[in-house]
Structure 1
């Protein structure tokens, strides 16, 4: 008895400002696809300028999903994203079209493709935030938070075991589920036939694009956007690059020039971390968008995958 072929999934990943969104639209137009966002901050409604969210005219009629689905007050998690993204992907498949998972949040992409287990559920950014809180607030405060979210984990992890405390609480925050539940029952892999593309540019060119993009965000009204959203920004949203720096600016803690420089610096560091993440992805194919045949290669990958899944 023959098995059903695995449903296709094209992943277009890469560092911030590389040009992923435009390439995903081109791929969707070429092969009859729909885009599913994989950017942890573009999920939030109203956070448009600072996240570089694609605008309706730029979508060129291509359906986009997993953008503007959460309120700024809500805490994001890989577990919540996984459930919603897989539902969106399944709906695209039912329409007979190719889902294109596009974004730069490596943890969220890995959750969709591989499922969530303790290892895949760990988010380095969340753990860094917790390590900072550990220094400022002390282990007892974090242990009490773990006890509220996962009493079983708190019962077996003493406050003195700081490594396991940060790991367990970090998984709770990243996934929205108890650490012990993640350990006990991992989410299964998505079962997709995946083609994983990572779009890159030479470092100096990428950094120049980042710097110009940040300057454009401030010209386009990023500070006003943050001022409007400030009362509603929850613990996840207020840590987004661009938003935390503008909150400091609005509080009078820095000048606009200093805020611009800080966002540029944080964005360059983030791009470096993203590239480190994607280089570790087995089977990822890297495409330098400065190469003259880059777009043609992306479109051919999309068409090949779409034909295989037809």
Structure 2
């Protein structure tokens, strides 16, 4: 890496692997601040099910984009790209390094590489698709996406309702497939990017995920989801940890079954995260406790 250039230290990896702990340690080491690129930790009302940093962790170093918005408003990857770049302009005046942490690949990519210029469909189109999702389930929308945009269907995370709805709303509004707007062009940023991936043995990771879900339930996930019933159609709530509890509240499954499904879907999500980040950029992979090796890779 070139000398005297600002660097964004990007910490990525699957859920429950230990990204928050490393991000805080890096921020303390470099006397800097942390930006969250977790697409659900923005929302103040969603804490238990998103495994936000604890109050104690938030006090250790300054964090940005945690509890920054209300779930009543939607916050897109494009919004995050704009706001995070503006914030980095300010932070890099005082710091040589800033830490970005998150498991949301689209939001990481938005800040590091830029997004393609997609049209913004009318909100009525999204509302209609979300209603179809709620009434008929994800499989119906997946089939629709496969029919109208097989190219995107073949590469997308079709288990993610937000991605499926987003692709379909672009098609519904423009008559053109979502894939036709994807240019795959990387935007040059005025800072260097050092991407650190965390991973561990699959069995150990899955055990951590299961334990985390149990802790969420002990810490009030059921009550949190009940409080979010008025917003259940929002994209952020059509995700793991929330969708399953909503199904339970609708009488579609027992609470025990809902918890088992959260664990299963969280494990599947972790697998998809690993696959995505292994394809992404120049990520160097480490065990979560490999502090000396990580520091040597960063270069200081």
- TM-score bracket, normalised by the shorter chain, equals 0.7 to 0.9
SS at match of 2:49: coil
Q: Secondary structure of 1:33's match? A: coil
State the partner residue of 2:213.
Answer: 214
Partner of 2:190: 191
> Where does residue 166 of structure 2 map in the other structure?
170
- Conserved 8 A contact 2:78-2:115: yes
> Compared with structure 1, are the counterparts of its residues 224 and 118 closer, same or farther at alpha carbon in structure 2 (3 Å cutoff)?
same
- SS across alignment from 1:41: coil
Q: Which residue of 2 aligns with 1:296?
A: 292
Identify which range, 203-212 or 59-68, moves more after superposition. 59-68
Matched, 1:283 2:282: yes
CA offset digits 1:61-111 (Å, max 9, x no partner): 300001112221233421111112212222221222521010101111111
Report the Cα offset of residue 161 of structure 1: 6.7
Q: Deviations over 1:207-253 (max 9, x none)?
A: 00000000000011000011112213442122121011111122222
Q: Which moved more, 1:98-107 or 1:183-192?
A: 183-192
- The answer to whether the 8 A contact 1:31-1:303 is kept is no
- 2:140 — aligned with what? 135
CA distance in 2, matches of 1:182, 1:95: 37
Is the aligned partner of 1:61 residue 2:66? no
Residues 65 and 166 from structure 1, CA distance in 2 versus in 1: closer, same or farther, beyond 3 angstroms? Answer: same
Q: CA separation in 2, counterparts of 1:69 and 1:172? A: 28
Verify: 1:77 aligned to 2:76, yes or no.
yes
Which consecutive residues of structure 2, in runs of 5 or more, have no partner in the other structure?
119-128, 154-163
State the alpha-carbon separation in 2 of the partners of residues 4 and 31 from structure 1: 16
Work out the CA distance in 2 between the residues paired with 1:118 and 1:32. Answer: 35
Structure-2 separation of matches of 1:189 and 1:78: 18
TM-aligned CA deviation for residue 135 of structure 1 = 3.1
Distance 1:82 1:71 in 2: 18
Greater shift after overlay, 78-87 or 261-270? 78-87
Which stretch shifts more, 38-47 or 14-23? Answer: 38-47
Q: CA deviation at 1:20?
A: 0.2
Alpha-carbon distance, 1:170 to partner:
3.0
SS in 2 for 1:50: helix
Q: Is residue 272 of structure 1 aligned with residue 277 of structure 2? A: no
**Structure 1 residues 187 and 96, CA gap change in structure 2 (3 angstroms):** same
Change in Cα spacing, 1:164 to 1:192, as seen in structure 2 (3 Å) is farther
Decide whether the 8 Å contact of 2:232 with 2:238 is kept in 1.
Answer: no
Q: CA deviation at 1:201?
A: 1.0
Q: Secondary structure at the match of 2:266?
A: helix
Counterpart secondary structure, 2:11: strand
**Residues 32-52 of structure 1: CA distance to partner in whole angstroms, max 9, x if unpaired?**
121100111111112001000
CA RMSD of aligned residues (A): 3.6
Task: Give runs of aligned pairs for residues 5-16 of structure 1, distance below 5 A.
Answer: 6-16=5-15
Cα distance in 1 between the residues matched to 2:15 and 2:143: 34
SS in 2 for 1:21: helix
3-state SS in 2 of match to 1:191:
coil
Tell which deviates more after alignment, 74-83 or 46-55: 74-83
